[in-house]
Structure 1
């Protein structure tokens, strides 16, 4: 067999073995790269490159080396799950860089972090002033986690005392112009409903690249032709506006009438409608 053919075969085989070893190590190797994972990844890659090009070397010797470098991290991972002390030694601990808006210079030096690097990491978290940061920690994977002070945190429905319904996963009902029956059934809808909604938007199924329906039954489409603008569904906005208009009309009727009985009836209706509006507001104004 020619040398170039041997290199090709060994490279393909090494790639297959490397892929299997990576899958064996799991997703943590990719998402949480600590010091040990970094060393293991480099070494396994070097061994894979070595057994690909070293024609005189025995292929299985390289595979055995890759297997050892895979099993050792797995053993440490298992021990880490069993022992907090092993986990602390193996993964390390986070380092507090900012506390109560104060930069901890000693911790910065221990982590070998410069002030420029700290400010850069803060900017990545949309914190352009260190005084706006309540707490910042250098995690074991080298990323900086940031918690802003209370007054600088974005508003959420919870902070405003609003209860929001659970968000349901949007279902892709059309992909590449083809109707997806399983997601459509998961959303509790039919092809007839989908056809009616497309008619409302004035688009044909074959012109739709992607279409999704959310948990509220609203359909959003993307067409093959990006120059064509499709109207966005507005049933909830229309219903919300109608309810508020009815509420305003009833209040106006209550103020305009001199009949005590009618005024009382209007006021009672306004109170009932306000209660309904408050209940449906999270669903209609999202």
Structure 2
């Protein structure tokens, strides 16, 4: 006995995990602030994987089954990562220390491709003039840079969204 939409379910799960792994490889910094090129990329990816999920079934029910499977898998993954440290470590990024007590972590900054100018911009967004005034700067899992100042009077409720390097976008 063959369930008519089993193929769509399997394909949708495979595409979901492929996209999760691809986003994990390309990093959280790519998600921090969407620009026109990023939105176009997302639209093109969604169009390219749509056929991989539903195959020859272009019916309304086929599309709804694929969407439902994606919602269910996403919900299940969120529940599992919340309850399993091992799975959470495997699937989710961790915050990264960029500056500690005014000292820049050049190795991490290089690996994450974060420029000195981006750090200075983030510091200014938080009301700080110099990077030496930063007690702690972190690249959060959502791509934002949060900053704690050495002088607590500079604390501001702002969020710096990391911008993409323009020259990298021209290569798309």
Q: TM (normalized to structure 1)?
A: 0.34
- 1:90-144 CA-to-partner distances (Å, cap 9, x unmatched) read 2211110001110111010121211111111221111221010011110010011
Matched, 1:154 2:157: no
- RMSD between superposed Cα atoms in Å: 3.0
Higher mean displacement: 132-141 or 80-89: 80-89
CA contact (8 A) 2:128 2:154 kept: no
Matched, 1:133 2:134: yes
Structure 1 SS opposite 2:135: strand
Q: CA deviation at 1:89?
A: 2.1
CA contact (8 A) 2:135 2:149 kept: yes
Q: Computing the radius of gyration over CA atoms, which structure comes out larger, 1 or 2?
A: 1
By relative contact order (CA 8 Å, sep 6+), the higher-ranking structure is 2
CA contact (8 A) 1:136 1:147 kept: yes
Q: CA deviation at 1:57?
A: 2.7
Matches within 5 A, 1:222-233: none
Aligned to 1:166: none
Aligned to 1:90: 91
Aligned to 2:117: 116
Aligned to 1:18: none
5+ residue gaps, structure 2, are 1-27, 33-41, 51-56, 156-172
Paired with 2:85 and 2:147, the residues of 1 have a C-alpha distance of: 25
Matched, 1:72 2:58: no
CA contact (8 A) 1:119 1:130 kept: yes
Structure 1 segments of 4+ aligned residues over 3 angstroms from their partners: none
Aligned to 1:259: none
Paired with 1:120 and 1:111, the residues of 2 have a C-alpha distance of: 16
Structure 1 SS opposite 2:143: coil
Matches within 5 A, 1:1-286: 42=42, 46=46, 57-149=58-150, 152-154=151-153
Q: TM (normalized to structure 2)?
A: 0.55
CA contact (8 A) 1:95 1:111 kept: no
Q: CA deviation at 1:155?
A: 8.6
Aligned to 1:208: none
5+ residue gaps, structure 1, are 1-33, 51-55, 157-286
